[in-house]
Amino acid sequence: MQEEFEKSVTNILNLIGENPKREGLLKTPARVAKSFEFLTQGYKADPKQVLNDALFASSNNEMVLVRDIEFYSLCEHHLLPFFGRVHVAYIPDKKVVGLSKIPRLVEVFARRLQIQEQLTEQIAEALMENVGAKGVGVVIEARHLCVEMRGVQKANSTTSTSALRGCFLKNDNTRREFFSLINSSKQVRF
């Protein structure tokens, strides 16, 4: 597969009018192949395995929020990066998940070709299904280079998406608390 990928990159370089044999581009096909292997490693990861090996019994039934999880992904429409922060909260139901597993879950889905809307949904669904939470809330705020570098070329514009499940969707107070914690905590830095 590596060899086929490198040939494709060489072909692209030829098509845009570059010389793949010039010094600066000699190793580019191999570098791009290695880069894409890393940037799309989420296809090889199983969200269930990421979460299930770190579930712990707990009597906690209050909101758990991990915010400002940085992520980088590739837009499936243009193969250009989009990046930003993810805020993930859940209400446990007799089990909590190890806190480091939530950013790992974000990585599983971010390291695939994506659209932000789907990324938001996938994180919420995986957490809801695999942790058995009473509810889940996910908000993503991101910048898209397909918007900034091409097309409308609007630098620094951001896109926000949310996915709410269970009590986050059904209970106004839970939903309000979630959004309040995200918004108020933006002003607090350690």
* Domain at 45-185: CATH architecture: 2-Layer Sandwich (3.30)
Write out the catalytic residue numbers. Answer: 75-78, 116, 144, 146
Question: What is the spatial distance between Cα 10 and Cα 47, in angstroms, rounded to a whole number?
Answer: 34
Residue 91 predicted with pLDDT over 80: yes
Give the residue, 189 or 172, on which the prediction is more confident. 172
Q: In 8-158, at which residue ranges do the beta strands (DSSP E only) sit? A: 55-57, 64-75, 81-91, 95-97, 113-114, 135-144
pLDDT in tens, 119-134: 999 999 999 999 999 9
pLDDT in tens, 19-70: 999 999 999 999 999 999 999 999 999 999 999 889 999 999 999 999 999 9
Question: What is the spatial distance between Cα 73 and Cα 82, in angstroms, rounded to a whole number?
Answer: 5
Residue 189 predicted with pLDDT over 60: no
Q: What is the pLDDT of residue 190?
A: 47
Which band of pLDDT confidence, cut at 50, 70 and 90, is reported for residue 185? low
CA angle at residue 137 from 73 to 159, to 5 degrees? Answer: 45
With CA atoms as reference, report the closest residue to 140 among 172, 106, 165, 169.
Answer: 106
* Domain at 2-39: CATH architecture: Orthogonal Bundle (1.10)
Which band of pLDDT confidence, cut at 50, 70 and 90, is reported for residue 152? confident
Query: Whole-number mean pLDDT of the chain?
Result: 94
Q: Where are the domains of the chain?
A: 2-39, 45-185
pTM of the predicted model, to two decimals?
A: 0.92
How many other CB atoms are found less than 10 A from the CB of residue 72?
13
Q: What is the pLDDT of residue 186?
A: 58
Which band of pLDDT confidence, cut at 50, 70 and 90, is reported for residue 82? very high
